[in-house]
Structure formats: C-alpha cells, structure tokens
Amino acid sequence: MESLVRTDPVTLEDRLRAALPAGVDDASVRLVDERGEWLTVRQGQLEPASSHADLGAMFTVWAAGGLGYAATNDLSVEGLRRAAERAEAWARSTAGALVVATPPRSDAVGGYESPVESPWNDLSTADRIDLLHRQSAALRVDDRIVAWSARLSRREVDVLLLTQAGGRIEQRFRYLHPGLSATASDGHRVQSRSHGAGAFCGQGGLEVLDRFGFGDAAARVGEQAIELLAAENCPSGPMDIVLAPDQMILQIHESIGHPLELDRILGDERNYAGTSFVDLDMFGSYRYGSPLLNVTFDPTVPGQLASYGFDDDGTPATREYLIRDGVLERPLGGMVSQSRAGVDGVANSRACSWNRPPIDRMANLNVEPGDSSFAELIESVESGVYMETNTSWSIDDSRNKFQFSCEYGRRITDGELGEVVRNPSYRGISATFWRNLTGVGAPETVLAMGTPNCGKGELNQVINTGHASPTCRFSGVDVFGADE
Amino acid sequence: MNQERFDLLVSQATARLTGDEVLLASIEGEETDFVRFNGGRIRQAGSVEQSMLSLELIVGGRHARTSVQMGAIDDDQHRVDLALAALRDQLPTLPEDPYLLFNTAVTSSDQVTPSALPTPTDALERIRTAAGDDDLVGIYTAGATSRGFANSLGQRNWFETSTFNFDWTFYLHGDKAAKNLYAGFAWDDDQFAARVDWSRRQLDALARTPIDLAPGAHRTYLTPSAIAEVMGLLSWQSFSIRAHRTKQTALLRMIDGDARLHPELSITENTAEGVAPNFQEQGFLRPDEIALITAGAYADTLVSPRSAREYGVETNGAAAGEYPDSLAIAAGAIPSAGVLEALGTGLYVGNLWYTNFSDRPACRVTGMTRFATFWVEDGEIVAPVNVLRFDDTVFNIFGEQLAGLTDQAEVLLDSESYGQRSNASLRSPGALVNELRYTL
C-alpha cells in the first residue's frame, strides 16, 4: 500500500499547523503516516499476503495548567479543527487536577531518516515469496519437523511533529523484520528453535537480511530443533552461565530497561506495567552491577531498531550513559518526567502511533562491550551452561525477581563447551544479578538487535526497542531445566 | 464509522468489481475517551477516534488482504480505490491458495446496544469523589466500539456497543495495593461504591506488616482475576486446532497423552454471554458456545476457515489467530462468601502477573503474585505477603491439586487496549488449589 496522504492545494502540513490552537500554554500536533507488508510461508504454503496503511494525527494541548490529547483519523480542515478543540477542552477540564508537570516545549527543527542500502522494492513480490519458500524448505531437515515457517515483513513510518513554538521535525523510519522457526517432535518430546526469536530485525532495507545471516540460517535452525529432541535436560543448581546476545537482550530489557524508566519510578505504571525497585535517591551512587557493567541509551546507532533523531516531544536524541562501571547514573525519562522528578534523563518520550500519547520508553539500550573473547568467557567456567535465544520471560512488577528460559543450551565443563542441553532456564533477582557479571565479551561478540513487541502504558502501547550486547558471563546463578 | 456509511462504502466498492472478483470487507472502529490517573490526580486525558477498514480481494483461488485507516467521509472512495488498486496489482504475483475458504451463504446480522454511558465529566467527578485523598492509579476508558463485516455477495453484519472500563488500584505504600475493575454498559453508583469499599477493606489488611514466605508448596486460593492471568496465557495457541495439529499447543499432553484436568473444570468459548461480535473476517458466524474442556477432558478446538480447509474439518467461526474472545469457566461448589474458611491456612492470591510458559509442552507456567496477596490462618487474614514467583503445571493447578471452584463466577471485561479497545471477556469462578509450587 502507498501512503494515504493526498496531494491537495492546501498541503496537509499547512492544515495541521493552521489547526494548532492559539491562546494556550503550549500545543503540538504529531502526524503519523505508516505502511506495512507481511509475507509468511508456512509449511510450504504462502499464508494470505497482507498489508496496511494507517494515517492520523494527535494534538497535544497544555492550557491553564491542564493537559489534553485528541487523536483523529479525519485530516480534513474541519476534522483537525474538531480534534484540536477537543484536546484543548480536555486540557482545560484537567486544569488543577493534573499531576504537576511542565510542558516539554520544543522549537527544534530537524529530521531523521533510516539508513537504507537496498530498498524493499529491489526485490519483487515474486522474488520475496521465492526466498521464503526456499527458507521454508530448508527448515524441514527431517520428517520430525512438524511445524516450520519463514516470515518477512517491512514497515515504513513517517512522522511529522509541528509545535506551537515553531518546531518542525520530520522523521522517516524503515524497518525490516525477518523470521525463521521450526518445531520438532518425536512423539515424546517437542522442541522449538528459531532464528533469534524475532529479535534479528532492524532499521534499513533488505541488507538487514544479510546483517543477521537470514539466507544461511534455515538449515541450522531445523537441525538444532532436531538436535534438541535428543538432548539431555538442562542441569539444575547454582552455577555459572554464559549468555549469548539474543538472550542478553531480554535480560537487559526486563531487568535494566524497565526498572530505569522514570515514569515507572514516578508511579504512572503501577496499575499495569508495574513500579520499580529503583528510586530517585539511587542515581549517582547505587551499585547496579559489577564494575564490568556499562550501559548506554543510544538512539544514534545506525540501523538499530529504535534509532531516531528526536523523541516524540521534540527533544534531540543523544547517547547517554545510564550505568558506568557498575554505578547507576541516570534514568530513562523524557522532558515531562524529568521536570516532575527534578533529575536529568534522556530523549525517550515516545508513542507507538498517532493514536497514543508519548510515555517514557527504552529506545536503544545497549551493554557496552568488554575485552573478553568468546573463548575466554568459556575457558574460565568450571561448570556451567551456555544459553542462546530467549523463549520465555517473566519478572515481578518491581522488576526484581525474574525467570528466563532459552531455546538452546550447551553444557560447559572445565572450560570447554560440551553437549547440547534442552530447556535451559535460570532465575534470579535484578538487584543482585548484575553484580555477578564476571565477564563481558569483546566487540566481535556484539550483536545489535531489537525487541519489537514491548508492551506498556495505559492506553496500551507496543513499541520497538533496540538492544545491543556482547556475550556475557555471570557467576552463581540458579539454573534449571524442564519437567521430566 | 457508522453502519450506514460502512454499508454504502461496501456497496460502492462492490459496484466497481469486475469479472469474478469477490470482495470481503471488515471494519473495526472506536471513539474512546481516556483518563489516566496517578496519585489520585490526572496524568493524561484525551480522546481517540479511529476506524480501520480491511479489504480482501479474491479472484478464483488467489486472494490478498489490506487494511486502510479511514478518515474524512469525503476520502472514503479514494481510500477504497487505493486499496483495491493495490490488491489488483498484487494478485497476479500470488499463487493459488489451497486453504482459501470464505462464507458464501449470506448470513446477515445486527447487534446494536444503545449507549447509556455517563459523560466523561460525570464519570471523572464520581471517580475523583470516590478516590478522596487516596493514592489512586489507573485508567478510565469509555466510548463506542463497532465491528462490521460485509461482502460483495450481499452479507452484512454489524456489531456496535458502548462500554466503560475503570481499571484502578489503591496504593498503600511500596507495592502494597488493592486492584479492582468496574466495567459495563451503564454506570451504577451503588455497584461502584461497593467495589471501592471492597478495595478499601483490602487496604486495611494490607496495612499489617508484610511477611516473606519461603519457596515451597502452599495451599492457595486464586481469585477470578488471578485465574484471568493464567487463562490469558492459555488463550495464546492452547485452544487452536493449528497449534494442536502441529504439536505447539500447551495442552498437548491432553491430546497425545493421558493428562487430564480436574473433573469439575469445564471451559467454553461462550460467545452468547460475551461482549464480542459473533462473526469473523471471512463472514462465518460463531456458535453461541463451543466446549473446549468438558469435565476436565479435552473437548474441541477453535477452527478458523483456513484451518478448516487445511485439516478437512468444519470451521466454528474462529478468527485467523484461533484465540478465544469470551472464555467461560463453569462455577463450582465452594461458597464464594466463604473462600477464606475454605482456604483455612494458606495463600489468598488477589492477582497474578507476567505469566509465561516455563515449559510449554508440559504446560508449565511461571508468574508472580501481585497486589492483594495474603497469608491466611484458620480462615483469617494474618498478613500481606511480599511478591512470590510460582512455577507449576496447569495439570497440577487445575488438575490433581484443584480442591474446587467457587459457586459464583465473576465476569471480567478485558481492559486491554493494544491498538484498540478489546472486546474480550472472561467469566470465571475462584479456585482453591491444595498445593501450588512457589520457587522464589
């Protein structure tokens, strides 16, 4: 589908700016123009091809100390006027009853565009389907593969933010999401394996496929699903673990990202996504992890899933350390949360689309590489498990007690990788887990991936977040496997 | 978008079809007011109006689907033309689909519930009055939602309702809080007051010094809200015929093995008593009720038209994802007013949180306790319990270890709003479990 924006004598941008209300404390309008396509070949058959085109605008109005939003799909002069009036009415009706906050006034002018080397349309629909058929066939390495699929989708999102203060920010995002999965069964056990569990995605064009080795992965995914059927159960007990980047991303996301979100610390999410074990007094002094732990908020990484130039309040995005040498430095909070908490944050006020208001989100949250090779991370483990690819995640509402399971594991004995184990799982507590970080992989072990399904907020929102991580080692972790 | 506009739009699109083209159209629309609270004050408030039209064009065995956001009424024809042009461009590049199935028997229906909602100002005033100085956090959403189906064969289905959903928590301190939900079609001050009163009484109990409970097996009472969290997880593929046939269902051991749930447990997809439409995107109607688990045994699955063709069975009107919208669990015999006495000594779990499969083929589920969770001795609340992780199989929780279900089932309207406000619901009693395994 092409964009739904029509070419009119009075441009949509002119209509949007004209609709911004006067006589209020602050106002902005955010237009989101989105298109997407999905193709899936499941067990040798193309699933129904689908696409979408979405278009709408949200007005944000601050007036008399109140705040109101109104989102509309009616972009006519009259429709925009009604929405702006509705947002202003909400602002005036909430005056005096609002959580105290300062408008994130922005007069920034700028833009952002995802880097694209090989545009989606370089491959015809027929060629895309053919590619997926080949991967689907390659997944079925054995008759014991009972479910298998190859997927490819793209999303294009153009966002225009206009502010009453004269700001104008235009950002053009291009995303690609490939996927491979296989489920094997021998009549007794069932095991599933995937290519990164949906995390091998990013901004860009078809080059994202090569970035994650999509073209060569299918047979390995199928073979490992078969391999897992015969594998021993993961051992139980306290031991060292070495986590691949495609498990690290969930560990980072759940036990660093969410607890550092400032809106959670301020209590906004307590009815739904939860609160945080972190409080405002911890910033600047709290030892979050071992001295090996360095975490950055970095929306400037080219091609990572949640890169951008400005957040949805119009704040310029910059790379910032959240945790340096294990010590907590700053939270994930946009301008509104920063004004409420009185602390410095980052440019992470983001909305999933035109029909939701911005809230504090993660964007790219990355563990900085260390200096250990993969071999060195393994060599120092006397008894432990190496784990790849998240398959299950759960954590309490303060983001402390967690439990994760992975698709694929290998026993480590006396510093050497050994036999494959199935259902590798571990549990722990965020506040102490990162202090047991005993090894951080060198840059050659880093993968920059994404979690495209982060849910949060009331109204609910699903948004892209990005995580880059090296392979990492932790000591003394409570490890376990499946029910026998 | 209203029914008249949708009908006109599809009729006009039908008139522009050529040859043997067949068109299926669906609409999902809403007009929503929302007010978000923190600390008894307003954090965010506003309105959303949206209306997504999906068109599926079929020519012989080829078909493709696209969804377009509708906008100003003057734009309707332009957007439909864009969508049809894109689909016509795409169809020749696609292979014939052996699993294509759509309803060709015209089965039209109307289900319109007139709005009886309070104005946002009225609702806000009632909530703020009830909250007083308490630390209230949550969200109020209200407004009309509409779902429609139409095809070029003349079928028309329309579903329109207006609901409110106030999903809130009173916080005492830290993570000690009482969660509640008041939702429906018309606001009733007495019902709301009763729920507020229930939450405040829980706060009194939460004020006691909390205890840390060591991991282990504990007798546990799960409220309907706690059960909703587990059922939400099970809804993800467990009742799907496609998941069953490809060994991906968490209930696999009930199909391939001899696993059973408790004889008292019966679960249906009860569309007749739910709040979701009874039609789906290929035009098939859903039966009033589908038995999924009967007396602890696997009964039936949800079958989409596509799976019906793939597996050679009849569709029962499931959507493509084959997930339930209107789960209903039959009530049991434990008096709802006496659950603490029935529990005796053990854990009263008000809510569960963040459930996930820790071993899907074994239907082993992990998750956390949340909000009002208490240690009970001899039928009396002793103290709130700090959060605990459980990790146990559904076959234990709702099978071997199930002591019974309460005699009253509660209706919980889903407050989720990912993309749009949900039409899902759950009717569930509470459950008493002899031993539930806690691990952290």
**Could you report the per-residue pLDDT of A337-393, keeping only the tens digit for each?**
999 999 999 999 999 999 999 999 999 999 999 999 999 999 999 999 999 999 999
Per the DSSP assignment, residues forming a β-bridge with A34 are: A54, A157
Residues of B in contact with A478 (CB under 8 A): 440
Based on the fold, state whether residues B172 and B222 are members of the same structural domain: no
Residue B389 lies in a domain: yes
Task: Give me the pLDDT at residue A7, please.
Answer: 76
Considering only CB atoms, B368 lies closest to which of A54, A270, A394, namely A394
Amino acid at B52: M
| B125-139 pLDDT tens trace | 999 898 899 999 999
Based on the fold, state whether residues A207 and A243 are members of the same structural domain: no
Residue of A nearest to B50 (CA): A73
Considering only CB atoms, A190 lies closest to which of B247, B356, B387, namely B247
Based on the fold, state whether residues A201 and A306 are members of the same structural domain: no
**Final residue before a domain boundary, out of B175, B206, B237:** B206
Residue B211 lies in a domain: no
| B267-313 pLDDT tens trace | 999 999 999 999 999 999 999 999 999 999 999 999 999 999 999 99
Enter the tokens of residue A74.
């009616």
For residue B365, the enclosing domain spans 216-438
Instruction: Judge: A397–B64 Cβ closer than 8 Å, yes or no.
Output: no
- Band (pLDDT 50/70/90 cuts) for residue B256 is confident
Based on the fold, state whether residues A86 and A220 are members of the same structural domain: yes
Based on the fold, state whether residues A64 and A110 are members of the same structural domain: yes
Based on the fold, state whether residues B301 and B159 are members of the same structural domain: no
ipTM over 0.90: yes
Residue A157 lies in a domain: yes
Domain count of the fold of chain B = 2
Based on the fold, state whether residues A205 and A257 are members of the same structural domain: no
Residue B232 lies in a domain: yes
Amino acid at A381: V
Considering only CB atoms, B72 lies closest to which of A2, A74, A266, namely A74
- The answer on pLDDT for A484 being more than 70 is no
Tell which residue, A225, A424, A198, A482, has the closest CA to residue B363.
A482
Based on the fold, state whether residues B168 and B36 are members of the same structural domain: yes
Considering only CB atoms, B48 lies closest to which of A98, A355, A397, namely A355
Spatial neighbors of A434 by CB under 8 A, at least 6 apart, are A255, A256, A288, A289, A290, A293, A326
Instruction: Judge: B48–A459 Cβ closer than 8 Å, yes or no.
Output: yes
Distance of CA A45 to the CA centre of its chain: 30
| A126-179 pLDDT tens trace | 999 999 999 999 999 999 999 999 999 999 999 999 999 999 999 999 999 999
Based on the fold, state whether residues A216 and A250 are members of the same structural domain: no
Based on the fold, state whether residues B254 and B162 are members of the same structural domain: no
- For chain B, what percent of residues have pLDDT higher than 70? 100
Based on the fold, state whether residues B224 and B179 are members of the same structural domain: no
Residues of A in contact with B39 (CB under 8 A): 99, 267
Residues of A in contact with B364 (CB under 8 A): 482-483
Domain count of the fold of chain A = 2
B16 contact A CB<8A = no
**Final residue before a domain boundary, out of A184, A205, A229:** A229
Interface of B with A in 274-313 (CB under 8 A): 306
Q: Stretch A200-221: mean pLDDT, rounded?
A: 97
Based on the fold, state whether residues A93 and A214 are members of the same structural domain: yes
Residues of B in contact with A129 (CB under 8 A): 93-95
Based on the fold, state whether residues A244 and A208 are members of the same structural domain: no
Residue B274 lies in a domain: yes
Per the DSSP assignment, residues forming a β-bridge with B62 are: B59
Give the distance between the most distant pair of CA atoms in chain B.
75
Per the DSSP assignment, residues forming a β-bridge with A353 are: none
Q: What is the CATH number of the domain that holds A119?
A: 3.30.2290.10
**Final residue before a domain boundary, out of B179, B206, B233:** B206
Based on the fold, state whether residues A268 and A192 are members of the same structural domain: no
Q: Stretch B254-271: mean pLDDT, rounded?
A: 95
Instruction: Judge: B66–A1 Cβ closer than 8 Å, yes or no.
Output: yes
| B330-376 pLDDT tens trace | 999 999 999 999 999 999 999 999 999 999 999 999 999 999 999 99
**Final residue before a domain boundary, out of B184, B206, B228:** B206
Residue ranges of alpha helices (H) inside B32-150 are 76-90, 120-131
Q: Stretch A215-239: mean pLDDT, rounded?
A: 97
Based on the fold, state whether residues A395 and A419 are members of the same structural domain: yes
Task: Give me the pLDDT at residue A188, please.
Answer: 86
- For chain A, what percent of residues have pLDDT higher than 70? 100
Spatial neighbors of A306 by CB under 8 A, at least 6 apart, are A299, A362, A363, A364, A450, A463, A464, A465, A466
Residue A7 lies in a domain: no
Instruction: Judge: B65–A270 Cβ closer than 8 Å, yes or no.
Output: no
Residues of A in contact with B46 (CB under 8 A): 68-71, 86-87, 90, 357
- Count CB atoms within 10 A of the CB of residue A391: 24
Q: What distance in Å separates residue A453's CA from the closest CA in chain B?
A: 11
Based on the fold, state whether residues B178 and B282 are members of the same structural domain: no
Task: Give me the pLDDT at residue B160, please.
Answer: 96
Instruction: Judge: B94–A129 Cβ closer than 8 Å, yes or no.
Output: yes
Instruction: Judge: B248–A147 Cβ closer than 8 Å, yes or no.
Output: yes
Mutate to test the interface with B, among A226, A263, A270 (most CBs of B within 10 A): A270
Interface of B with A in 129-188 (CB under 8 A): 137-139, 141, 167-169, 171, 175, 177, 179
**Final residue before a domain boundary, out of A183, A204, A229:** A229
CA A437/CA A326 separation, integer angstroms:
10
Write down the mean pLDDT value for chain A. 97
Amino acid at B55: L
Residue of A nearest to B61 (CA): A48
Residues of A in contact with B34 (CB under 8 A): 458-459
Residue A183 lies in a domain: yes
Map residue B138 onto helix, strand or coil: strand
Instruction: Judge: A45–B98 Cβ closer than 8 Å, yes or no.
Output: yes
- The answer on pLDDT for A10 being more than 80 is no
CA B228/CA B221 separation, integer angstroms:
14
Based on the fold, state whether residues A194 and A286 are members of the same structural domain: no
* B362 within 8 A of A483, measured Cβ to Cβ: yes
Instruction: Judge: B354–A398 Cβ closer than 8 Å, yes or no.
Output: no
- Count CB atoms within 10 A of the CB of residue B5: 16
B39 contact A CB<8A = yes
Based on the fold, state whether residues B147 and B236 are members of the same structural domain: no
Enter the tokens of residue B268.
């249906």
Instruction: Judge: B389–A275 Cβ closer than 8 Å, yes or no.
Output: no
CA A88/CA B47 separation, integer angstroms:
11
Based on the fold, state whether residues B177 and B221 are members of the same structural domain: no
- The answer on pLDDT for B119 being more than 90 is yes
Per the DSSP assignment, residues forming a β-bridge with A21 are: none
Residue B20 lies in a domain: yes
- For chain B, what percent of residues have pLDDT higher than 90? 97
Enter the tokens of residue A94.
């909430």
Residues of B in contact with A390 (CB under 8 A): none
Residues of B in contact with A396 (CB under 8 A): 353-354, 368, 370, 387, 389
* A339 within 8 A of A102, measured Cβ to Cβ: yes
Based on the fold, state whether residues B121 and B11 are members of the same structural domain: yes
CA A20/CA A91 separation, integer angstroms:
14
Residue A6 lies in a domain: no
Interface of B with A in 120-139 (CB under 8 A): 121, 124, 128, 137-139
Instruction: Judge: A50–B66 Cβ closer than 8 Å, yes or no.
Output: yes
Task: Give me the pLDDT at residue A357, please.
Answer: 98
For residue A225, the enclosing domain spans 12-229
Instruction: Judge: A52–B68 Cβ closer than 8 Å, yes or no.
Output: yes
B416 contact A CB<8A = yes
A267 Ramachandran zone, left/alpha/beta (phi>0; psi -120 to 50): left
Based on the fold, state whether residues B177 and B324 are members of the same structural domain: no
Residue A5 lies in a domain: no
pTM across the whole model? 0.96
* A413 within 8 A of A472, measured Cβ to Cβ: no
Based on the fold, state whether residues B191 and B139 are members of the same structural domain: yes
Residue of A nearest to B392 (CA): A483
B74 contact A CB<8A = yes
Residue of A nearest to B48 (CA): A71
**Final residue before a domain boundary, out of A213, A229, A245:** A229
Residue A79 lies in a domain: yes
Cα dihedral sign, A206-A208-A211-A216 = negative
Q: What distance in Å separates residue A302's CA from the closest CA in chain B?
A: 28
Residue B248 lies in a domain: yes
Based on the fold, state whether residues B117 and B224 are members of the same structural domain: no
Based on the fold, state whether residues A155 and A297 are members of the same structural domain: no
B178 Ramachandran zone, left/alpha/beta (phi>0; psi -120 to 50): beta
Spatial neighbors of B227 by CB under 8 A, at least 6 apart, are B329, B426, B428, B429, B430, B431
Considering only CB atoms, B368 lies closest to which of A268, A401, A423, namely A401
Q: What is the CATH number of the domain that holds B170?
A: 3.30.2290.10
Residue A1 lies in a domain: no
Length of chain B (residues)? 440
| Alpha carbon distances (Å) from B361 to A209, A480, B229, B243 | 31, 16, 19, 11
Residue A4 lies in a domain: no
